[in-house]
Structure 1
């Protein structure tokens, strides 16, 4: 059974595992950070779990998906979305985004924003289906291509 829950500081091993798997799976979308992230001490992972809102998807007890929401008073940033390839296409991404959205609304945010690479059409379709709108604001990421800011009013 697939479930989604918010991670706590006790979930450092889950966060580390999912983050490293996601970076290794799609470095073109998430950056070449595997070595940097792998070297982070536990205290930094705990800080991340306290400062941001991380949700993970589980197939029974096996972690299979990850997303993060970075709080800001008016707009939250959604990032680090990843679902293990074998679990894609079953609505899990929508459930993860819904959790971040609910946390943002609960904390008074008025919008949820994210960036998506120009050639990541699958992700773009998912986000647009969930109500995110293109802003026309582009950023060039050296060696990775262009990514656009998408926004969802809450």
Structure 2
């Protein structure tokens, strides 16, 4: 078992690898799992909607204005989180994912805390996110970290929108 102290959280671009090694695999796992949870399972990345395949194929281009935090165990990416560029004084957290083999070690909490630090350094007033209502564990994590449910800005059903002041 990996000691939680052996996990490093790095930002890309900035502190992390020059190329987001492993990010595409993490994004693929995230999107494949989400599709399955929505009752729309696909056999592989090629079956995902275009917008998700583009993220997986070229995260550098898709997230050019965002900051990606990676959780690394040695040289292996085991978790990720994307923080969008600020709009109207808010940033948005997206794509929080931890490799299932590394769950239960505080990686997701560390990634969210790193996102909050980045947001504070960027001068934003709030961070928001949306999460599928069936992801009770993620909702509980966000609540522990100070996020509260807010009015939805997303028209998709079954999304819970949350926000936290920085």
TM-score normalized with structure 1 length: 0.82
2:158 to 135, 146, 149: 146
Structure 1 residue 71: Cα displacement: 1.5
1:127 to 119, 139, 142: 142
Secondary structure at 1:76 match in 2:
strand
Report the CA distance shift for 1:32/1:153 in structure 2 as closer, same or farther (over 3 A). Answer: farther
1:19 paired with 2:19, answer no
Rounded Cα–Cα distance in structure 1 between residues aligned with 2:25 and 2:55:
12
Secondary structure at 1:26 match in 2:
helix
Report the CA distance shift for 1:92/1:41 in structure 2 as closer, same or farther (over 3 A). Answer: closer
Show CA shifts across 1:8-49 (max 9, x none). 3832443222211222233337x979333445696x532234
Point out the structure with the larger helix share: 1
Rounded Cα–Cα distance in structure 2 between residues aligned with 1:129 and 1:41:
30
- Asked if the contact 1:140–1:146 (Cα under 8 Å) also holds between the matched residues in 2, the reply is no
Secondary structure at 1:131 match in 2:
coil
- Asked if the contact 1:67–1:82 (Cα under 8 Å) also holds between the matched residues in 2, the reply is yes
1:50 to 40, 64, 67: 64
TM-score normalized with structure 2 length: 0.77
Structure 1 residue 123: Cα displacement: 0.6
Structure 1 residue 79: Cα displacement: 0.7
1:104 paired with 2:109, answer no
Report the CA distance shift for 1:111/1:19 in structure 2 as closer, same or farther (over 3 A). Answer: same
Rounded Cα–Cα distance in structure 1 between residues aligned with 2:137 and 2:62:
28
Report the CA distance shift for 1:40/1:147 in structure 2 as closer, same or farther (over 3 A). Answer: closer
Q: For the aligned residues, what is the CA RMSD?
A: 2.6
Structure 1 residue 139: Cα displacement: 4.5
Rounded Cα–Cα distance in structure 2 between residues aligned with 1:70 and 1:40:
14
Matched residue pairs, number? Answer: 149
Secondary structure at 2:86 match in 1:
coil
Show CA shifts across 1:125-154 (max 9, x none). 01101110111437453xxx4111101111
